[in-house]
Amino acid sequence: MENKGKKIIFSGIQPSGNLHLGNYIGAINQWVVMQEESSEKELIFCVVDLHAITVYQSSAVLKEKILEVAALYLACGIDPKKSKIFVQSENPDHSYLAWIFDCLTPMGWMNRMTQFKDKSAKQKESTSVGLFNYPALMAADILLYDTDYVPVGEDQTQHVELTCDIAARFNRLYGENFKLPKTIIDRKAARIMSLQNPLTKMSKSDENQDGVINLLDAKDDIAKKIKKAVTDSGREIVYEQDKPAISNLLVIYSKLSGREINSIEEEYRLKSYADFKNDLAELMVDVLSPVQDKYREIRQDAGYLGKVLDEGREFAVKKSSVKVANVRRAMGLGRI
């Protein structure tokens, strides 16, 4: 294999809406750190559009969001010389292997997935079979590339555990074909919460967009959203369990500035919420402005983005086609 000895890292984000501060702090920023840490890794970042359609997406919007997400990966610092970026649906091996995993996965395993319970509760009658089967597609994404590590937020660990169960079951039934991946969870990585309801996570699909800072939000919108952010009773700017709103803002401040929370608490000990919020809005604009400038530059050069995604797809297909051929051979599928 080309990258013998290199550890493979795979992750992705759904183009199901606007990328937000949670995706940046909880995912992309960590990918960039990993990318810069060492060259002994092969990093693969996918725009997981097949996952996005587990919930209805308008075709015109989806088309645009796919390019937006890919361009934002680059604008946030993913370097195509060091990492691969591709669009999931451009490699049909993902859905091919997902079907095989659907057939291999007992309903009971899927029934245990808490994310399905949460998301289907919101979708009600329109909940799709695809949303239920989502973890089988995620298992295919990961296992196609002999992934060693999957950097994810805590909400995704159950899916990676299921991926290992599916891989182990396949290996038991048909022989060793899949490597069992591990999750990388940065314990210090925060779960960024909605600015309007600090008990729910910041989410693309949140109906109340005042609670969500999008990476491409205009300067004034950022300032307005921070100003409107709910706060807790009392006036102290401290990180405490019974102060979820101000704690969330402190975590965001800390993640964007690289400073420890207690040093921020100390700085604002005698200051007001308004002072703190003004400074946080300014910090956010300082961090997001260069990302937005870079994003605009990338979108103006469609040829460059196309080339990055073509190269990513070629890399992905080359690797996954070998895996799928082995799987077909192992299972007796077709005339291979």
Residue 118 interacts with ligand AQP (CB under 6 A): yes or no: no
Give the separation between CA 143 and CA 178, rounded to whole angstroms. Answer: 6
Our answer to whether residue 204 is catalytic in this structure is yes
Burial category of 97 from C-beta neighbours within 10 Å (exposed 0-12, middle 13-18, buried 19 and up): buried
Q: Are 170 and 178 in contact (CB under 8 A)?
A: yes
Q: Which of 8, 10, 16, 49 binds ligand AQP (CB under 6 A)?
A: 16
Long-range residue pairs from 277-283, CB within 8 A, at least 24 positions apart, any chain: 277/226, 277/227, 277/229, 277/249, 279/253, 280/226, 280/249, 280/252, 280/253, 281/222, 281/223, 281/226, 281/227, 283/253, 283/256, 283/257
Residue nearest to ligand AQP according to CB distances in the complex:
26
Measuring CA to CA, which residue among 327, 331, 249 is closest to residue 284? 249
Our answer to whether residue 319 is catalytic in this structure is no
Site string for ligand AQP, 165-204 (x = CB under 6 A): --------------------------xx--------xxxx
Identity of the residue numbered 91: N
Work out whether strand 41-47 and strand 7-13 pair parallel, antiparallel, or are unpaired. parallel
Site for ligand AQP in 309-328 (CB under 6 A): none
Between helix 273-300 and helix 244-257 the angle, nearest 10°, is: 50
Residue 17 interacts with ligand AQP (CB under 6 A): yes or no: yes
State the minimum distance, in angstroms, from the CB of residue 123 to ligand AQP. 11
Nearer to ligand AQP, 65 or 170 (CB): 65
Nearer to ligand AQP, 22 or 104 (CB): 22
Residues whose CB falls within 8 Å of the CB of residue 320, separated by 6 or more in sequence, listed in order: 91, 93, 94, 97, 144, 145
Give the separation between CA 227 and CA 209, rounded to whole angstroms. Answer: 14
Instruction: Indicate the SS3 state at residue 228.
Output: helix
Q: Which of 155, 260, 275, 297 binds ligand AQP (CB under 6 A)?
A: 155
Residue 76 interacts with ligand AQP (CB under 6 A): yes or no: no
- Give the number of C-alpha atoms closer than 13 A to the C-alpha of residue 63, restricted to the C-beta side: 3
Residue 78 interacts with ligand AQP (CB under 6 A): yes or no: no
State the minimum distance, in angstroms, from the CB of residue 315 to ligand AQP. 21
State the minimum distance, in angstroms, from the CB of residue 328 to ligand AQP. 29
Nearer to ligand AQP, 104 or 195 (CB): 195
Torsion of CA 107, 91, 181, 26, to 10 degrees: -100
Residue 329 interacts with ligand AQP (CB under 6 A): yes or no: no
Residue 177: CB atoms within 10 A of its CB come to 17
Residues whose CB falls within 8 Å of the CB of residue 251, separated by 6 or more in sequence, listed in order: 190, 192, 239, 261
- Pick the stretch among 17-25, 35-43, 58-66, 221-229 that binds ligand AQP (CB under 6 A): 17-25
Site string for ligand AQP, 26-65 (x = CB under 6 A): xx--------------------------------------
Secondary structure element (H or E) that encloses residue 118, with its range = helix 114-123
Nearer to ligand AQP, 204 or 324 (CB): 204
Identify the active-site residue in 7, 119, 227, 294.
Answer: 119
Site string for ligand AQP, 135-154 (x = CB under 6 A): -----------------xx-
Identify the active-site residue in 84, 201, 225, 319.
Answer: 201
Our answer to whether residue 81 is catalytic in this structure is no
State the minimum distance, in angstroms, from the CB of residue 115 to ligand AQP. 8
Q: Which residues bind ligand AQP (CB under 6 A)?
A: 13-14, 16-17, 22-23, 25-27, 152-153, 155-156, 191-192, 201-205
User: What amino acid positions are annotated as catalytic residues?
Assistant: 119, 201, 204
